[in-house]
Structures are given as C-alpha cells and as structure tokens.
Structure 1
Amino acid sequence: MEVIDPNESSPSPAQSSGSLAGILVKIRKKVCSWYFLKTVALGQMVSLFICGTAVTSQYLADVYKVNTPMFQSFINYCLLFLVYTMVLALRTGEDNFLHILKKKWWKYIFLGLADVEANFTMVKAYQYTSITSIQLLDCVGIPVLMALSWFILRSRYRVIHFVAVAVCLAGVGTMVGADILSGREHNNGSNMLFGDILVLVGACLYAISNVCEEYIVKNLSREEFLGMLGLFGTFICGLQLIIVEYSDIASIHWDWKIALLFIAYALCMFGLYSLMPIVIKITSATSVNLGILTADLYSLLFGLYLFGYQFSGLYILSFTVIMVGFILYCSTPTYTAEALPPSASSGFDNSGLNVENDLETPGALSFIPGESVADKVENQVRKE
C-alpha cells in the first residue's frame, strides 16, 4: 500500500496532464531511483574502461612508438575466446555451442567482422586526421544507432529522447572547443579526408555491432554473444594481423614496461566487453553510447599528468552537459513496436506499442522472456 504524506499536496491537473512541472517531477523521481543510479554507475565504469584503453594506446604510441591496434585487439579476442567461448562449449541442451555454430555461424561472422573492423578503422584514423575531427565525426554513430534500432529492434522514441541526444552532442561540441583552447588539438593530420572517412566507417560499424549486441543479449544470452564474438573475432583479427601488422610487431623492442602496457590494455578491453552487455541489457545501446561520451574527459584527467595536457573549465561544463543529456534520455522509457493480430489491434496502430523498462505492459502484449513475436501472436489468438 502506498504511504501518502499529509503535507504533500496532490498533483495539479497540469502536472497529471503532462505539463513541464509534471515532467520535472517524473524526472526527479527517476533520477532518485536505485535503478537509475545503478545505470549511471555502470555506464561510467564502461567509460573508465574505454579511458584505460585510450591512455595505454596513446602511451605506447607516444613513448615507445608502438602502433599495433590489431595486435592489441587480438589479445582481447583471445581472452574472450578462452573465457566465454569455453563457457559456451560446456553448455548442454538445445542452445549448446555446436547447435549455435551450425545454425548461426554466418551471422556471427558478420558480427565479428563488423566489430573487428570498427576497432581497426577508428584507431587507424588517429594517424591521418585530428582529434577534433574524430570526436565530432564519431558522434555520427549515435543517430545511425538510433535509426538501426528503429528499423531492426523496432524501438520508438519520444521528443525528449531527441532533445537529450542534442544536449549530449552539444556537450561534445563544448569538449572539442575546450581541446582547441587548451592546445590539446595539435595534430592537423597527414590525410584529413582519408582519416575522416575512416572515422565515419568506424562509427557506422560500431553502431551495427551495438545493435546486434543489444538484440542478442536481450533475446538470447550474454554468454552467446561474447563466446561467438571471441571465436570469430580471434579468427578474423588474427588473419588480418598477419597481413597488416606482422612487420610492426616484429620491430617492437620488448621490455617489461611495454608488456605491462599491453596487459593493461587487454584487461581494460576485456572488462569493457564483459560489462557492456550487462549495461545494454538493462538499458539500451543508444543509452550506453550517450553515457560513454564522458570517456574522453576521463582520458584528459590522466593526460594532465602523463602527456602534459592543459586543463580548461570548459571540460567541467562539457561533462555536466553530457550528463544532463544522459539523464534526460534515461528519464523516459522508449517504446517497442510489436505486431499484433488484426482482431486485437482494432484498427489502432498505437496499440502495438510496448513500453520498455519497468512500466506495466498491456494484457495483449504480455509475454514470456525469450518468446518470439510470432509465438506471442499465436498464443494471444488461442486465448481469444
């Protein structure tokens, strides 16, 4: 039973009808919930893992002149293979490793190729274009991700979600301005056009990978996603490594510091890949990508001591703006459009919208976890 505070006034008609005051009250309740705080904390942990990969990669490149993005990714895929593919191999029943491999091998080859090339093109772009271009063009992945979620995952957005994305992108613009004013932007790039194209390709491939990841972890399992990605990612990355970076690896003058940096990078990447599906399962791929826009700011804090970066108050403003946009996005649940039989829809298209998260689902849309849309429709028809 709900406990009502006698000192608290009842909501006004304006609040209950969706006015600005009512929206603010809903946002405040959402922000103060344990679910939301957990979501923010997990998202910032993902940002810290991304920061760790960026700092170790830059330290290897600047101090030891080591540029081996494929080799670094290969170590991560090997760790995924040793942990999650082995876990998948021990499964029994219909969802065992051999059954998945037999039925879906070509799908996971496509996923592994998208993920490997996304990592490669994005890191490779730093050799040709500027940090500013990468930070700005990388944001193209967010609208691409939203579009793919709309058509593939059938996600539906409200106006507040588009406003939230615009706020987050404004925060990125503030961060880029801070980079320029603080002198962090010092590399004009050797081939700006080629580097910008690499960034755009990498952003689109990341969007494809994230949409596939969201579908798999929400409908199948996290272990299946990571296990199959570890298998095919290791194979594809290893093959490309032999072709592209064999001479670069052979020229490395190994010592314990370089080895330690490679280990730190691999552990950060492994932590990132292990945690990301958990966060995506409880939120969405778009929400996670908005939250990790703060990763560059964490990298800056390390760069103040490691690379001599200069601090600017605009970085604090940028972090604040991005977090405000992230809070706005998470404050209102998205919808999922589901197909209903004609007799159940009664001619109303919006009756097929299913609210995600913790909202109550209409009886016609109730379902068993793991049940497909076709099964839901068939079961509903039988009930009627």
Structure 2
Amino acid sequence: MEEAAAAAPATAGAEPSPGAAAAAPRRLLALLGAKLCTWHIWKTIIQGQLISLFICGTAVTSQYLAEKYRVRTPMLQSFINYVLLLLVYTTMLAFRTGSDSLWQILKQRWWKYIFLGLVDVEANYVIVKAYQYTSLTSVQLLDCFGIPALMALSWFILRARYRMIHFVAVAICLLGVGAMVGADILAGRSESEGSHVVIGDVLVLLGASLYAISNVSEEYIVKNLSRVEFLGMVGLFGTIISGLQLAIVEHRELMRVQWNWEVALLFTAFALCMFALYSIMPVVMKATSATSVNLGILTSDLYSLFFGLFLFLYEFSALYIISFVIIMVGFILYISTPTRTAEPTELPQSASSGLDNAALKLEESDSDTPALTVQFTRGETVVVNTD
C-alpha cells in the first residue's frame, strides 16, 4: 500500500507522452468533424445556398433589364412579388377559421403588420436605389452593417445569447466579404456610374437597418406564430404599400418601358425567384436564425459574379474563389453551435418567500379540510388539492 501511495504522486505528476500529445489534435478534429457532418448542418448549408441562388436570380434579371433594355423599375418588380404572396398565402389565411383566420389576425395585430409591410417594402426599395448614387464596393461593404444590427436586435428582442465562436464566425464571414470587395477592385468593378456618394451610402445603411428589423420580426413570427401568417400579412400590406408607391414614384418609368416577350420573361423570372426566396427563407429561419441566414446569403454576390462572367463579360479573379471559401467556413462555423435563449427574469427572492408563506398559511388555516396549496405561476393563481 505504501509503495502504491508513493507511486501515485509520481504517476500524477508525470508529463504526458509524445503519443498522447499528438493524439489530442486528432481527437479535436474528429470531434469537430462529427459535429459538422450531420444532416441538420448540411441541410442548413443547402437551404442557405439555395436562398443565395434565388437572390442571385433577382440580381441578374434586374441587371439584365437595366443594362440591355434600360428598364429600372424596382418598385414594379417588388409589387409583382407581393401580389404573388397575396394570391397564395393571404388566400390561405382567408380560408382559415378560428383564431388563425385572416379576420382575427387583422383584428388583433393589423397595425403591427402595416409597420412590418412598410419596413419590408422600403428595405427592398432603398437598397436598389442606392446603386444609382454609390459604387458596388460601397454597397457590399456597408450592407454588412445589417449583420451586427441584426445580432443586436436579436439580443434585445429575441433574447438570443451568443458564444465566442459566433463572433469569430461573423468576423471570418466579414473577412470573406473584404476579399470579395478586393477582387472587385482588382477587376475594375468598383467604379460608380452615379453621383452623390454620401446619399448612396446613407441609403445602404438605412436599407441594411430596415432589413435587420424585417428579419428579426420574421424570425419571431415564424417561431411563435406561423410562416403562413407572416407571408400572408406581408403579401397583403406589401401589395397595398408598394402599389401606392409604384403609382407615385415610378409611373413615368412605366410609360417608358418597351414591352416585348423578353422583357416579360425577365420580369417573370425575377418574380418567381423573389417569391421562392420569400417562401423558403422563413423555413430556414425557423430551423436556425435570422443571423445565420444573413451570413449564408453573403455568397449571393459571388453567384451573381459567376453568372456575370458569361452574361456581362466580367473579369475573373482567384480572390473570388478564396472569398467564397472564407465565407462558407465562417457560415459553417456559426451554425455548428446553436445560440442560447435567455430565460425570463425570475421573481426576486423576497417576493418568492412571501408567496410561499401565503401558501403555508392557507394550508394551516383548517386542518379538518383538505389541504390546499396555492401555486403562483407568471402572475396566475392555481389551486391544487394535495389530498
């Protein structure tokens, strides 16, 4: 026994063998690989890149309309999308009965959805408008302001709590955006055809902030209410608001459009891509979060570039591939660890003790009658028969 006791400290204080030290990184990589190689992670990656492709479709069709046919009608394009949402999802709400019916939703939350519809419409409009005043590089850089704004809103409104790995992942994604902007500069795509750069930059920041508000609201609604309610209400009020704005600000542009089958086909492709984008994004948000979706769609500019290599004869740079890889690494790192949700604030200890004493007095008031325990849960009183 004494020999064993004497040997124990020596064993405990011994340095790890070189084989054990070399095995530690392998175990860490194996653990990380097992964490990432799950169906949930891959499904999130696929869905995020599908959203990016739909955003790419809207960007390419808009640019093709603007460059080849001189059609610049962002509000008309948004209006068509909202009409599709109205016809599909608002109609679904109209056929519902009970508390989830269209009438009950309007009766209880109509003013909230008016605000959300206004935010969503203007976010789409001001970002497209910003391209007329500032450069592509400025839009790409300043649009990233929406990610920290989104994280801040999620912290206060959705009570999301982030870990250090999430901040590292966001920093990696933004590094990828920086590489993409550098590639644009080297390829000569950073020049601006517009003027009043300050106005354009302000519009980008405003659009990013509005998108953050819209996305946080969307995440809250799809996780606590329903996806159909969000899309139906956005379709209803988005159609009304964008229709009014279309009549006010774009009626002259509409008169200049030279309609033919190619222009109609491009409008149709834009509307279908935007409709699919709006339909799929709530599904991904419900499974993950608004922040992870916005990190995933940072690759949409790169998809647009790849299409532009053939359609608009862009110059290629290896930095685009590097930026794509960096953004995807950051995105995968972010979704590998779910965020936490803060619990509601508990009652102070003194208040809790007072409620317990009140229950105790009620139990001791009459020993002949069945004991009653009064439980207080979030302001409600529940009486439980303990016999």
Which residue identity is paired with 2:201?
A: D
Aligned match for 1:287, one of 275, 284, 292:
292
1:306 deviates by: 0.6
1:258 maps onto 2:263 in alignment: yes
Aligned match for 2:316, one of 299, 311, 314:
311
Aligned match for 1:214, one of 215, 219, 233:
219
1:376 deviates by: 7.6
Aligned match for 1:191, one of 196, 213, 220:
196
1:235 maps onto 2:243 in alignment: no
Aligned CA RMSD, in angstroms, stands at 2.5
Larger radius of gyration: 2
Aligned match for 1:322, one of 327, 333, 354:
327
Q: Specify whether residues 52 and 380 from structure 1 end up closer, same or farther in structure 2 by C-alpha distance, changes over 3 A only.
A: farther
The one-character-per-residue Cα deviations of 1:165-207 (angstroms, maximum 9, x if unpaired) are 0000000000000011112223253110000000000000000
Paired residue secondary structure (2:341): strand
Paired residue secondary structure (1:332): coil
1:100 deviates by: 0.3
Indicate the residue corresponding to 1:143 in structure 2.
148
Indicate the residue corresponding to 2:54 in structure 1.
49
Paired residue secondary structure (2:47): helix
2:221–2:227 CA contact under 8 A, matched in 1: yes
1:380 deviates by: 11
Indicate the residue corresponding to 1:152 in structure 2.
157
Q: Specify whether residues 76 and 107 from structure 1 end up closer, same or farther in structure 2 by C-alpha distance, changes over 3 A only.
A: same
Indicate the residue corresponding to 1:166 in structure 2.
171
The one-character-per-residue Cα deviations of 1:34-72 (angstroms, maximum 9, x if unpaired) are 010000000000000000000000000001111000000
Matches within 5 A, 1:43-122: 43-122=48-127
The one-character-per-residue Cα deviations of 1:141-176 (angstroms, maximum 9, x if unpaired) are 000000000000000001110010000000000000
1:217–1:225 CA contact under 8 A, matched in 2: yes
Q: Specify whether residues 377 and 54 from structure 1 end up closer, same or farther in structure 2 by C-alpha distance, changes over 3 A only.
A: same
Distance 1:240 1:23 in 2: 55
Which residue identity is paired with 1:280?
A: M
Distance 1:343 1:192 in 2: 53
2:165–2:333 CA contact under 8 A, matched in 1: yes
Distance 2:279 2:268 in 1: 16
Which residue identity is paired with 1:115?
A: D
Q: Specify whether residues 317 and 342 from structure 1 end up closer, same or farther in structure 2 by C-alpha distance, changes over 3 A only.
A: same
1:28 deviates by: 1.8
Distance 1:306 1:29 in 2: 41
Q: Specify whether residues 68 and 382 from structure 1 end up closer, same or farther in structure 2 by C-alpha distance, changes over 3 A only.
A: farther
Distance 1:300 1:118 in 2: 23
1:27 maps onto 2:52 in alignment: no
1:276 maps onto 2:277 in alignment: no
Paired residue secondary structure (2:119): helix
Which residue identity is paired with 1:180?
A: I
Distance 1:380 1:339 in 2: 19
2:160–2:340 CA contact under 8 A, matched in 1: yes
1:69–1:123 CA contact under 8 A, matched in 2: yes
1:340–1:377 CA contact under 8 A, matched in 2: no
1:176 maps onto 2:162 in alignment: no
Aligned match for 1:125, one of 130, 134, 146:
130
1:30 deviates by: 2.4
1:341–1:377 CA contact under 8 A, matched in 2: no
1:25 deviates by: 4.6
1:242 deviates by: 0.4
Unaligned runs of 5+ in 1: 1-12, 348-374
Which residue identity is paired with 2:317?
A: S
1:240 deviates by: 0.4
Aligned residues: 341
1:129–1:192 CA contact under 8 A, matched in 2: yes
Give the fraction of aligned pairs with identical amino acids, expressed as a percent. Answer: 66
Q: Specify whether residues 178 and 379 from structure 1 end up closer, same or farther in structure 2 by C-alpha distance, changes over 3 A only.
A: farther
2:151–2:291 CA contact under 8 A, matched in 1: yes
Taking structure 2 as the reference length, the TM-score comes to 0.84
Paired residue secondary structure (2:98): coil
1:26–1:331 CA contact under 8 A, matched in 2: no
Distance 1:321 1:31 in 2: 16
Distance 1:268 1:197 in 2: 27
Paired residue secondary structure (1:165): helix
Paired residue secondary structure (2:99): coil
Indicate the residue corresponding to 1:353 in structure 2.
none
Distance 1:180 1:256 in 2: 36
1:23 deviates by: 6.2
Paired residue secondary structure (2:100): coil
Q: Which moved more, 1:23-32 or 1:171-180?
A: 23-32
1:343 deviates by: 7.6
Distance 2:117 2:147 in 1: 20
Q: Specify whether residues 134 and 380 from structure 1 end up closer, same or farther in structure 2 by C-alpha distance, changes over 3 A only.
A: farther
Which residue identity is paired with 1:98?
A: W
Q: Which moved more, 1:257-266 or 1:184-193?
A: 184-193
Distance 2:229 2:31 in 1: 36
1:378 deviates by: 6.3
